[in-house]
Amino acid sequence: MEIYGYIRVSSTDQNESRQLDAMAHIPQGNLFVDKQSGKDTKRPELMRVMSIVKAGDTLIVESISRFARNTRIFGAVAELEREYILQRQAEGIAAAKKRGVQFGRPPKQPPDNFGELVRKWEKKEAMLPEILEELHISESTFYRRLREYRLIKGNKK
């Protein structure tokens, strides 16, 4: 398994030293540098490194924009980056939950007269659409709040 590096700068007067410094750990013979516009997909050093790299090797590109026009590689790189994004997102969510951050919309609390409205509904003194309109909630929210209400009411006995 080998490690390779690919560097591209837009023109011959641009300096690639920043990218070279970032790849100082890569053997000199495994660095490939193109000095030409990114709009041209026929980059000789990119084609050369791509013909050398095989399964199990590592190709490091300092800046993804230096690479983006080669769709054969970009798809694999994009998929890998997506996995990293999802991993970082999951880690961030887990850290936030540890700090007590609540996610989602805050629950809508039932009004003080919810019990009275439930009793009217149970005794068929009021129809469900009327209750929903008065509470300004959906039917699914009503039934969810009803279950919670009955649990609380049952615990108070």
Q: Give the residues across from 61 on adjacent strands.
A: 6
pLDDT for position 133: 93
pLDDT for position 8: 83
pLDDT for position 110: 82
Q: How does pLDDT run along the chain (157 residues), one tens digit per residue? A: 889 988 888 776 677 777 888 888 999 999 998 887 766 667 888 889 888 988 888 888 866 555 555 555 666 666 777 777 788 888 888 898 999 998 888 877 788 899 999 999 999 999 999 999 999 899 999 999 999 989 887 766 5
**Minimal CA–CA distance to 53: which of 36, 82, 31?**
31
Walk me through the domains of the chain, giving residue ranges and CATH numbers: 3-98 (3.40.50.1390), 114-156 (no CATH)
Instruction: Tell me the CA distances in angstroms from 129 to 65, 110, 115, one per residue in order.
Output: 57, 16, 16
pLDDT for position 118: 93
pLDDT for position 111: 85
CB 117 within 8 A of CB 135: yes
CB 9 within 8 A of CB 63: no
pLDDT for position 34: 86
